[in-house]
Structure 1
Amino acid sequence: MTFDQIAWLPLCAGLTAVGAALAYLAFRRRGVTAGLRGTAWALLPLAAYLTGALRTLWTIGSAAVSFVTGLVLSPSVWAGVALTGLSAVLFFVSGALRGRTLSRARRSKGGAAPADAGTGAPSAAGSRDVTRPIELKAAQPTANDDFSDIEDILKRRGIS
């Protein structure tokens, strides 16, 4: 059925009339706000016809129906849907692996301390242990940290 085969003006006017009657009932039973909202909804079919938006809505609906029909009945489209799903899974897996790689790199840079770091003695190269103050800074929340209050609450509740 095409757009021009339907008598749109009587259909839209009828929908508006039915909607206006229901809006009147809503006004009587539930009050002014319900009646006004029902009237607003009731005016939309006639407004869509008069502005020409109904033809656009018909075209969008027709395109959506033909897309879904082609999707359901076409094996090549289903192959495309399967490839799209596989692509999404690969994106998520690669993101998870990348996150693990980055966390390992951070741990290997800042987390590996010299063997004598626990004693507080200088290392063989004569430099001080630099990782210890960093650990203390990480343990104390900064004033700029927005989540420090939330972290404290979670720690008090035993959730970490």
Structure 2
Amino acid sequence: MPAVDVVLLPLCIGLSLLGVVVAVVLFLRGRRGRALQGLAFALAVTALYLVGLLRLVWDAVVAVVRWATGNVFDLTAWIGFGLLALSVVLWFVGRTLGRRSRRAAKAAPAGSAASKEVTGGKAAAGQPPAGRAPATTGGRQTKAAAPAQDDDMAEIEALLKSRGIQ
């Protein structure tokens, strides 16, 4: 029996028994779904051991630990970790800035075009927006000629009309 199996077999048995115990406790408490997940964990550990993948996982963990302990006091490794962290931060900052600039580029032309279309530029206070004549019949204004709306409401109205919502 190889030296790795001396460590892995008891580990596998212990984890499998722990999974079965947790599954039984959860089953008795009425949490059937979690009990099945505990049983699945117990079976997965045993299956990994029987297939040989648990040894592969063990070897990977040992290799990572050896690598980490070898790099703890190495100055060049710490500089490398710092550069790696900086590159990750720059990646996400660039991604965020790219999203913001795309949103701003989409919002600026659409919002300003809709505003100019509805209001015809800057309308004088108390004047109806350009392109809209007050509805009159014989010198009297009807209810349709309400007081001038502010720019925000005009933009919203134009947006709703452009989408077919009235």
- Report the TM-score range of the alignment, normalised by the length of the smaller protein: 0.5 to 0.7
Is the contact between residue 12 and residue 49 of structure 1 (CA under 8 Å) also seen in structure 2? yes
Aligned to 1:81: 85
Deviations 1:98-157 (A, max 9, x none): 321221112343321436715539xxxxxxxxx99x826158637xxxxxxxxxxxxxxx
Deviation at 1:77, TM superposition (A): 2.0
Structure 2 counterpart of 1:100, one-letter code: A
- Give the % identical residues: 25
Is the contact between residue 23 and residue 36 of structure 1 (CA under 8 Å) also seen in structure 2? no
Deviation at 1:81, TM superposition (A): 1.1
- With over 3 angstroms needed to count, the CA separation of the structure-2 counterparts of 1:138 and 1:76, relative to structure 1, is same
Question: Any stretches of 5+ residues in structure 2 without a counterpart?
Answer: 122-128, 135-153
Is the contact between residue 26 and residue 38 of structure 1 (CA under 8 Å) also seen in structure 2? no
Is the contact between residue 15 and residue 45 of structure 2 (CA under 8 Å) also seen in structure 1? yes
Question: Any stretches of 5+ residues in structure 1 without a counterpart?
Answer: 122-130, 143-160
- Equivalences for residues 4-15 of structure 1 within 5 A: 4-7=3-6, 8-15=8-15
CA distance in 1, matches of 2:101, 2:79: 33
Q: What SS is found at the alignment partner of 1:112? A: helix
Deviation at 1:54, TM superposition (A): 0.5
| TM, length-normalised to structure 2 | 0.52
CA distance in 2, matches of 1:139, 1:28: 55
Structure 1 counterpart of 2:111, one-letter code: R
- With over 3 angstroms needed to count, the CA separation of the structure-2 counterparts of 1:92 and 1:51, relative to structure 1, is same
- Equivalences for residues 138-153 of structure 1 within 5 A: 138=162, 141=165
- Does 2:114 align with 1:110? yes
Structure 2 counterpart of 1:105, one-letter code: P
- With over 3 angstroms needed to count, the CA separation of the structure-2 counterparts of 1:109 and 1:58, relative to structure 1, is same
CA distance in 2, matches of 1:28, 1:104: 58
Structure 1 counterpart of 2:49, one-letter code: Y
Aligned to 1:120: 133
Worse-superposed segment, 97-106 or 69-78:
69-78
Aligned to 1:137: 161
Aligned to 2:41: 41
CA distance in 1, matches of 2:50, 2:15: 14
Deviation at 1:93, TM superposition (A): 1.6
Instruction: Find the structure with the greater CA-based Rg.
Output: 2
Aligned to 1:150: none
Structure 2 counterpart of 1:106, one-letter code: A
Structure 1 counterpart of 2:25, one-letter code: A
